[in-house]
A and B are shown apart, each in its own frame.
Chain A
């Protein structure tokens, strides 16, 4: 019998027993998925991006299914940071889940304020700085589409919370030079990168002959975007091989997670797959473990970025 694969991983100074995480915005704050599996059995719960104030989000329709994917336009509906830290985080920590808090702001200052609030409670594994949500009123507010704006946000967060918990910058694939944006946020103090956020898309209804979503555009997710995720992770890992990447985008099977790891991801978030299969994270984690063993890997970490290497196993 072969040795069980060591699935553990790290993002900056944070350690996780497995590389399979929820994806921000696809697990709410964990309670709903806890009906289907214990939250401490996965790497971490990445919570839905939270802002300083409670928010209604966008009007409905907020969803359109597409071929092998879906568009969403939620618009960061949420309880606000105070309620989130008072209720959701303590509940998650009580479940012995590892927690990565995702934050989103409309201004550079709002991100710094959110990061400051996170310092008030202990037990959070890392902060994901979502600078790439496509569902904001003003597309000019997508910080991750602009190198200077991205740097300023990460710089503000670093000054507040840097060195305490890892800062993960979540980037958009909707840019011309992703490695340049990535390099900028790393120079500004990001310890890790989350790749990729959804891809901006649109569906026009042939009945109404108008955009199907109330917000007109939405973020495309699901298996349709997996090749974009693989490309983005591969490009950024090639440019910044020492920076850990939390990979995501269309992962629905253990094989998909393996592909992102081979491209350079240290961890893999599962998002839209949970909508169709509430136990997707557990299924993917088991499939990945078996696949790594079948390929002869003793540790998951040995597979990170394997696709870039000259050697063969």
Chain B
């Protein structure tokens, strides 16, 4: 696969890959596993990135957009790849956001670059007649990812930063219950840090709102064989087990995740 473009956007890089017909199988929430470094790289594991959005055009064929924060050695390598570079990818991987069959009121909540997959999701929800509101939060304004074209696919967009450098000062969760009630929200779709996902789950626990969240857990393989990316998740019978976030996620029902047990083990033996 080829890098079609690579642009810096605030604290992130917007990377577009030419991937051909693979885009036909990609759904909002799916991720891509990318080999980083050259063949002799000492980084042996792929890096997982949420697919921000996909598109198909006569000129470029199928393309896939990624929003990458150049934090570690792997993401820095990816962000340094110039247009025309060849990239080895495995995709689409993981579960996708559930799309309602009826026109519902959806609230999309993104933390940091967790907003990336939400814009592609917003397009799809909008095309199904849903009302789409969006809340984005980050520590500072430069870490808010909200492209101009993305804003067109939402009915409203509210931004929060912890230092007040953009939008309202504070966090996306601060008036969440009021927003959910005032706007008759049916489904929350979220993506961002685990603490944010856990907080949203807790806030809407007593409501009828469905919370679909895309989790972020470090993974070695992305295809279900290494067992490193597990999360404590309870099933219909209330039994908690360690579930792979790469194949049973990244999109999960927030109310099924035992956020209190992340980094611990279920109390009861399996």
Interface residues of A (CB under 8 A from B): 25-28, 31-33, 35-36, 48, 53-63, 65, 67-70, 72, 74, 77, 80, 214, 222-223, 252, 272-278
Contacts and interface: CB of A to CB of B under 8 A. Distances in A.
B38 to A, nearest CB: 13
Interface residues of B, number: 31
Where chain A touches its partner, the secondary structure class is loop
Contacts of B223: 32-33, 35-36, 278
A74 B228 CA distance: 7
A67 B42 contact: yes
Given A72-B220, A275-B44, A62 B227 contact: yes
A72 B226 contact: yes
16 contacts: A28-B225, A28-B227, A32-B223, A33-B223, A35-B223, A36-B223, A55-B269, A59-B264, A60-B230, A65-B44, A72-B228, A74-B226, A74-B228, A252-B44, A273-B44, A276-B45
B221 A59 contact: no
Contacts of B230: 57, 60, 62, 77
Contacts of A28: 224-225, 227
B35 A276 contact: yes
B225 A32 contact: yes
B135 to A, nearest CB: 28
Given A32-B225, A56-B265, A68-B42, 18 more contacts: A28-B224, A28-B227, A32-B247, A36-B223, A53-B270, A54-B269, A60-B262, A65-B44, A70-B44, A72-B226, A77-B227, A77-B230, A223-B44, A273-B44, A275-B226, A276-B44, A276-B221, A277-B35
B262 to A, nearest CB: 7
Contacts of A72: 220, 226, 228
A297 B95 CA distance: 46
A60 B225 contact: no
Interface in B246-270: 247, 262-266, 269-270
A278 B221 CA distance: 8
Nearest to B41: A68
Contact of B228 (A48, A56, A63, A80): A63
Contacts of B221: 274-276, 278
A48 B224 CA distance: 13
A222 to B, nearest CB: 5
A72 to B, nearest CB: 6
B214 interface: no
Interface in B214-235: 217-221, 223-231
